[in-house]
Structure 1
């Protein structure tokens, strides 16, 4: 099983003047701890479940490019880019640039977008949900066409690209893995089955997660896609300390949670940490958690 770190919060005790240094250090520590991937949200305002809108929020793809320069191995992705934020052709160029400059370490995390406040605040159009899903599907089609090297015009309902040229091409072949975030059963998981290399679900209780995976399996069967081709990931929050103090998770408690996810077929568990700016959780991950979790077999994988 693989582990990945999400960084959703950039408001840290040492203040904004040290924000870049702290984030770079977090990226380096995540890599040294043996984590497989590093993720940032793609939002422009902080989201209400994390903190007030006014809190610091870095632009996601620029932050990943900065992290790429501080690391050598760890995979990098947005969790996830809202389809409404950038024109599809420019978004594919941005993701490709990260993949090229990081020597093939980019994930293409994308979703239908939801945060109306930041759209209105920065003047970004926020169409109705049905249209956002239409735009998401067209963006996925454009991304796959551009990464295939096909330069013929694309004419969709919402987007027109007369020459979708993508040069240089991505390092990863056939393209950076496409991860679609969200657990909607009728639209999101259907798009995963048709277009994506990975899905991301919130860390629901195990029975609910199992049911979501069954829905994904049925969508895969409907389009003739092997369910096993799709990387299954989850996203949660974990407060990890050496001794499990103050209601945090001890190393063994964290391992037990990861093992439960692997048992139902989760390939990669992503998590954020409220104490991410401290050294302690990375020491615990490196010495007590990652070496154990890497050996946990994932159900359904040979």
Structure 2
């Protein structure tokens, strides 16, 4: 009856040999190509450093004015503008301004990178069922893999630092924008595409002038979810050198500093609420505009 209580598995020696072979292969790959991969990501490092420098060295009143202007442009709602500015004022008042600016710069770069990489992949999925069948299982794995696991290959390839943390955050946060770009383009009314065909539009013209504008509210929802997931990854990424609000939280966990962890955790929540409200309001405005134009 042992076979009922003990699940049949690979021989322990064979399993150890398999794991050792995979580990050694990956280590050989990192030794052989690690420097080339690091050089490939150098422009990303410069972009991140530049973004962080701008956010931390710009006087705080200008930052507040810019945030207020962006919130007003996106939402046309004074409550959202006032809430965004007040949240940042409270964060600064409690001494978390610099860490918050570093976190916002990280999220900004992650979002830009996710848009640049994710939207073309989403478009390719919408245009090709074969591509969709290939990429969907990959996205499923990316969304269900424990976030800590992303740190292992990234650290082995690139070591500890800002860029490895950035890449780990992007890998964790990019699936929503890919999925919702694909969904938004696929949900475009076929009648609109037929009308575009009747006017002799090429595939590129249909994509640029019909599909992308109509899919924009859905794509904005994907960007919103990507930002939320990137913020959720900030604390974990701090384990490999990402500066910002995540590092005080990690320090609070290690040393049992309750107030330090709570204050910085609430600051992350505050930033998440600002991004969420502003991006959602902008998505709703786009939706209403499209309904007026096409309705």
Please say whether Structure 1 and Structure 2 have the same fold, judged by a TM-score greater than 0.5: no
Compare the two structures and name the one with the higher strand fraction.
1
Alignment TM-score, normalising by the size of structure 1: 0.23
Compare the two structures and name the one with the higher helix fraction.
2
Higher RCO by CA contacts (8 Å cutoff, separation 6 or greater): 2
